Amino acid sequence: MDGSGAAQWRHAGSCVEGQPFEIDGVNVWAHEWQPVPAVFATWREPLYGQECRFEVYEIRLGTKTVRFSAGEYSANVYLFALPQ
């Protein structure tokens, strides 16, 4: 999960900050993101093929945990990736 091949990541989409974006049925902007310490995800965004390397986060809702990578790609535009 550190970008060295320990985990593979796939592009999941993008949105403007605060615009509803769901992962596994959870709107990520409606919950606090907990960073996973020292873990980064690396993948290529599909439009330009640029390599992205962003932190990994979790949202914990009871017994459900949603893990994703996200980062600001352009002014207020966030890219998201999911582990494969």
Q: Which pLDDT score, from 0 to 100, does residue 3 have?
A: 45
- Structural contact between residues 23 and 80, judged by C-beta atoms closer than 8 angstroms: yes
Cα diameter, the chain: 38
pLDDT tens string 46-57: 888 999 999 999
Q: What letter would DSSP give residue 31?
A: S
Please state, as a whole number, how many other Cβ atoms lie within 10 Å of the Cβ of residue 43.
20
The model's pLDDT over 16-33, given as tens digits with 9 standing for 90+, comes to 999 999 999 999 999 999
In the beta sheet, which residues pair with residue 54? 41
Predicted TM-score (pTM) of this structure: 0.87
Domain ranges of the chain: 9-63+76-83
In terms of Cβ atoms closer than 10 Å to its own Cβ (0-12, 13-18, 19+), residue 47 is exposed
- The token duo for 32 is 């606090």
